[in-house]
């Protein structure tokens, strides 16, 4: 059950990285770009990509790459599990 929660947490972190980290040119996502914007104007606010008001405007000129997004999710997932296991070992060790 906890690993399922870690996976859900990694999905949330992957999407929040797009919203809060600086973009890489017209690409969004970290460590790999999984959203590429091909429109004529620069996107100043990342929330516009997911805004219902502008969704159809930006959706036509935006490419989403699900395999790259899943790769990001799994990288974050394994990092979270690694940190969790290290913290468990530190907690069980002698002080």
The predicted pLDDT at position 10 comes to 92
Distances (CA, A) of 74 to 11, 13, 68, 89: 9, 11, 10, 22
What digits encode the pLDDT tens for the residues 32-67? Answer: 888 888 877 777 777 777 777 777 777 788 888 899
Structural domain spans, the chain: 2-92
Per-residue pLDDT band at 80 (split at 50, 70, 90) = very high
Cα–Cα distance measured from residue 89 to residue 59, given in angstroms and rounded to the nearest whole number: 46
Per-residue pLDDT band at 93 (split at 50, 70, 90) = low
Q: In which region does residue 86 sit, left (phi positive, over 0), alpha (psi from -120 to 50) or beta (all else)?
A: alpha
Whose structure tokens read 């997004």? 69
Cα–Cα distance measured from residue 76 to residue 15, given in angstroms and rounded to the nearest whole number: 11
- If residue 36 lies in a helix (H) or strand (E), which one and from where to where? strand 35-37
pTM across the whole model: 0.77
């Amino acid at each position: 059950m906890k690993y399922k929660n870690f996976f859900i947490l990694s999905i949330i972190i992957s999407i929040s990285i797009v919203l809060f980290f600086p973009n890489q040119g017209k690409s969004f996502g970290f460590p790999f770009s999984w959203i590429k914007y091909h429109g004529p104007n620069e996107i100043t606010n990342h929330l516009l990509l997911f805004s219902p008001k502008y969704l159809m405007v930006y959706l036509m000129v935006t490419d989403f790459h699900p395999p790259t997004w899943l790769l990001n999710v799994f990288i974050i997932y394994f990092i979270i599990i690694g940190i969790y296991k290290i913290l468990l070992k530190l907690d069980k060790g002698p002080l």
